[in-house]
Amino acid sequence: MPGLTIDLNIYADEEALIEALKRGEKYACACMIKHHGSQMYAVALRIVGDADEAEEVVQEAFISACSKMDSFEGRSKLSTWLYRITTNAALMRLRKRREDTVSLDEPQVMDEGDLLPRQLGDWSVEPGQQALSSELRQVMEQAVQELPPSLRAAFVLRNVQGLSTQEAAEALDITETALKVRLHRARLQLRERLADYLVEQREEVTA
């Protein structure tokens, strides 16, 4: 298995790493990949939903980041800036895919009526819920793919990658209020999808 021979301690802190990146040091670029590569790959994969495309997105993102360090003004953390570049590249990829194929399955923008909870079975406490089964995990991943892209990106950044509301809003270049609206819509839609599966599972067990 290939790996990176990088000593992450060579730069005292993020500021030192950023200075080295701005000087165009190749070692700093490799260091940035070692530090943030997996996070960016994870976010790309969950937005585009395809491993090959996620790889292309990450390549585009790091090429852009390494060549445009001068445009990094240091107003956000380096990781937030990278998330922004990666998320933009991933969303662009989805836009291009939409232009290439006219899909009847394209998720539609929800209206207010769609937000009203439909599934009211209580699956918040399920026996045996400690472990995330592979089937449930698959349902969860599929449910994320069914979200409209803008909601998907907001949810992945905030609730899967664990960015703060402020960081996720910065990464998407939207206000925190707009981020929260997207997040809420995404969560309600995901709740419905998980409920469809988990309530059915519970009925099968008790039948």
Kindly list the residues in this chain that would bind other proteins in the complex (CB under 8 A). 1-6, 26-27, 29-30, 33, 37-38, 40-42, 45-46, 55, 58-59, 62-63, 66, 115-117, 119-125, 132, 136-137, 140, 155, 159-160, 162, 165, 180, 183-184, 187-188, 190-191, 194-195
CB 94 within 8 A of CB 56: no
Residue closer to other proteins (CB basis): 34 or 97: 34
Residue closer to other proteins (CB basis): 125 or 207: 125
C-alpha triplet 203, 206, 207: angle, nearest 5°: 80
- Minimum CB separation of residue 123 from other proteins in Å reads 6
- Minimum CB separation of residue 37 from other proteins in Å reads 5
Q: Which of 101, 76, 93 is nearest to 168 (CA)?
A: 76
- Minimum CB separation of residue 182 from other proteins in Å reads 10
Residue closer to other proteins (CB basis): 98 or 137: 137
Burial 174-194 (b: 16+ CB within 10 A, else e): beeeebbebbebbbbbbebbb
Residue closer to other proteins (CB basis): 101 or 124: 124
- Minimum CB separation of residue 75 from other proteins in Å reads 23
DSSP line for 128-189: T-SS--HHHHHHHHHHHHTS-HHHHHHHIIIIIS---HHHHHHHHTS-HHHHHHHHHHHHHH
* Distance in angstroms (rounded) separating the CA atoms of residues 86 and 98: 19
- Minimum CB separation of residue 63 from other proteins in Å reads 6
Residue closer to other proteins (CB basis): 74 or 121: 121
Q: Which of 171, 206, 184, 135 is nearest to 47 (CA)?
A: 171
Residue closer to other proteins (CB basis): 42 or 107: 42
- Minimum CB separation of residue 83 from other proteins in Å reads 15
